[in-house]
Amino acid sequence: MAFDIPDSELEWRFDTSGGPGGQHANRSNTRVELRFDVAASSAFDGETKQKLVSVLGREIRIVEASSRSQTLNRQRAVARLADRLDEATRPPSPARRRTRPSRSARERRMADKRRRGIRKQWRRPPGADD
């Protein structure tokens, strides 16, 4: 399900990515932090908003710093936000219906157990039945 979230509801912060990388990493604000307030959003109807808040919480925070490009990190953050929203609104998969083994399957299992027991008896040394 695709959502149309206004840009004004997305809060962006940029920072240096930290870690190794020399001057570029220390000077460039490529790390992206995206915050989205689900509870205050006007992009969802009441039922969808309530479901999102119960699954994801009032606010979604996504940090992306895997690229040296701020633009690419912004795109990845938006994609991750969309993935989270889609996953949270996806209907749950139906539960597995319980089934019982068939009569023939139970009989096969018991026959296998009997054969296995006989095979183990043959492995015993003579006179070990005492």
Q: How far, in Å, CA of 23 to CA of 17, rounded? A: 11
For the domain that residue 55 is a member of, what is the CATH number?
A: 3.30.160.20
Whether residue 43 is contained in a domain is answered as yes
Tell me whether residue 29 is in a domain.
Answer: yes
pLDDT by 10s per residue, the chain, length 130:
667 888 888 999 988 877 776 776 677 888 899 999 988 888 888 888 888 888 889 889 988 878 888 899 999 999 999 999 999 888 888 999 999 999 999 999 999 999 999 999 999 988 876 5
How many whole angstroms separate alpha carbon 12 and alpha carbon 109? 62
Task: Provide the residue range defining the domain that includes 63.
Answer: 7-89
The reply to whether 117 falls in a domain is no
Residue 35 in any domain: the answer is: yes
Q: Tell me whether residue 55 is in a domain.
A: yes
**pTM, entire model:** 0.66
For residue 63, the cross-strand partners are 33
In a domain, 98, yes or no: no
Q: Is residue 128 part of a domain?
A: no
> What is the number of structural domains in the chain?
1
Residue 43: closest CA among 82, 93, 6: 6
Instruction: Indicate the helix (H) or strand (E) that contains 82.
Output: helix 70-89
What's the gap between Cα 58 and its chain centre?
19
